[in-house]
Amino acid sequence: MREMHKRLATLNDRGKYGFMGNGSEHIQDARLSVEALAATLSHWADIASGTDYTQGVEAFADVLEQAFASLEVTVEREQPAPYASLEGDPVAVGPLLRVRVRPDAPVQILLLGHMDTVYGDGRKSKPCVLHPDGRLVGPGVADMKGGLLVMLESLRLLEKSSLRQRIGWQVLLTPDEETGSHASHAAILAAAREAHVGMVFESSLADGSLIRKRMGNGTFRVHVRGRAAHTGRDFAKGRNAVTAMARIVAAVDDLNGKFEDALFNPGRASGGGALNVVPDSATAWFSVRIGSVAVQRELEFLLPKLFEGFAGDGIEVEWRGGFTRPPAEASSANQALHQKFGDACRSLGLPAPGWRDTGGSPTAICWQRLVYHFLMASASWVEIYTARPNLPSLTACRIVSAPMLYS
């Protein structure tokens, strides 16, 4: 930890991440807290919180509950109900955290994040390392514990602003983003309905670009039952489930190129047993990504028909699944908010970030419920807290004056 602090001090002394532009009255406060923020993020990253490791998610929620309580707000803790997996089994997840402040203010902002990571119980993860260029690298730092720290400190600055009374905000931290946000889906939608602006604090792209458009996605499980028979004695009486599933897989794959902005991936299949027996069972799992709501609606009608069309003559087909994240389509509303964020950057002497179309995230769940959407850049967290410590707060303050928020 001492070595990390020395490197941070060296970077600041060099001016590599020095302050630019006119900034705000809170820049100095942010500069003085850089070392503490580095230590905080390292501590957070050391808490293993893989989605399925609910004990770790609960432990991290305990830490975050105390951290947000330092803003002198009430942190609500909720336990989402288990959701059904594609196999039909109940899946339990960790808790959900929520903070509401000034719900009657004229502008309402949703700040969305997740506590879970892809690092399981942490036994194979590595500790945080501060690189000479100022990047703090560790398990879950970019996705998305660094973003949660940006969120927390942005709100701390916002609460010192003279404009805070005009801005109400809600923080929603979910426990299951990495596996599809199935258990927290309803909570995200409900929170989005109450907001004018949504901010998702996952990292930007490596070049600093923000996300304008994301594909939605869905997952499907198809199970085929046939009729077993000995291949040497009763081959004709058998109904081959593997063969039927192969036809379904081929039919799904053939959809690629037939829909604008849609991708179909048969990702996994299993079935059969002894080679001298006609297999009576086969299962396949599919991932489908869509770029527009129109295509999603079309496929919600077409895919069940496709799956069920292979049933008959001793073959039974069952399927589960659907689209859990709708596409986040580019709009004039999020373009307008991006422009205001660019204005805030330029007022600090910083270049405005670009737009990119990519990926898929919980952003899409609340996309159509919001007047605006904005994806906060948080990948290079050290740079944000030295060169751009007040950007999130300044952006939140500036959008209050946007007349479109009241139309």
Secondary structure of 225-239 in HEC code, one letter for each residue: ECECEECCCCHHHCE
Domain match, 273 and 370 both: no
Average pLDDT for 236-264: 96
C-alpha to C-alpha distance for 241 and 229, rounded to whole angstroms: 11
**Is the separation of the CB atoms in 18 and 123 below 8 Å?**
no
The pLDDT value recorded for residue 126 is 78
DSSP 166: G
Domain match, 288 and 338 both: no
Instruction: Output the domain CATH number for residue 60.
Output: 3.40.630.10
Domain match, 161 and 271 both: no
Look at residue 163 and tell me whether its pLDDT is greater than 80: yes
Residue recorded with tokens 């705000």? 24
pTM of the model: 0.77
**Is the separation of the CB atoms in 334 and 221 below 8 Å?**
no
Per-residue buried b or exposed e for 284-319, using 16+ beta carbons within 10 Å of the residue's own CB: bbbebbbbbbebbeebeeebeebbeebeeeebbbeb
Domain match, 297 and 225 both: yes
Mean pLDDT of the chain: 80
Rounded to a whole number of angstroms, the CA Rg of the chain reads: 24
Q: How far is CA 145 from the centre of its chain?
A: 12
Write out the H or E segment, with its range, that includes residue 91: strand 90-91
* pLDDT 10s digits, 78-106: 999 999 988 889 999 999 999 999 999 99
Write out the H or E segment, with its range, that includes residue 134: none
Among 299, 325, 351, which residue terminates a domain?
325
Range of lowest pLDDT (134-143, 148-157, 169-178, 309-318) = 134-143
Domain match, 383 and 295 both: no
Report the percentage of the chain scoring pLDDT > 70: 79
**Is the separation of the CB atoms in 306 and 230 below 8 Å?**
no
Instruction: Output the domain CATH number for residue 287.
Output: 3.30.70.360
Q: How far is CA 366 from the centre of its chain?
A: 11
Domain match, 181 and 276 both: no
Range of lowest pLDDT (3-12, 53-62, 161-170, 185-194) = 3-12
- pLDDT higher at 224 or 362: 224
Is residue 22 very low, low, confident or very high in pLDDT (cuts 50, 70, 90)? very low
Among 294, 325, 356, which residue terminates a domain?
325
Domain match, 44 and 93 both: yes
Domain match, 301 and 340 both: no
**Is the separation of the CB atoms in 62 and 94 below 8 Å?**
no
Domain match, 356 and 312 both: no
C-alpha to C-alpha distance for 3 and 21, rounded to whole angstroms: 30
Q: In which domain, by residue range, is 237 found?
A: 216-325
- pLDDT higher at 187 or 373: 187
* pLDDT 10s digits, 299-314: 999 999 999 999 999 9
Domain match, 309 and 343 both: no
Domain match, 248 and 396 both: no
Residue length, the chain?
407
The pLDDT value recorded for residue 86 is 87
The pLDDT value recorded for residue 319 is 97
Domain match, 238 and 289 both: yes
Look at residue 20 and tell me whether its pLDDT is greater than 50: no
Per-residue buried b or exposed e for 18-56, using 16+ beta carbons within 10 Å of the residue's own CB: ebebebbebbeebeeebeebbebbbebbebbbbbbbbeb
C-alpha to C-alpha distance for 297 and 218, rounded to whole angstroms: 12
Number of domains the chain is built from: 2
Range of lowest pLDDT (64-78, 278-292, 356-370) = 356-370
The residue among 262, 268, 249 whose CA lies nearest residue 86 is: 268
Among 300, 325, 350, which residue terminates a domain?
325
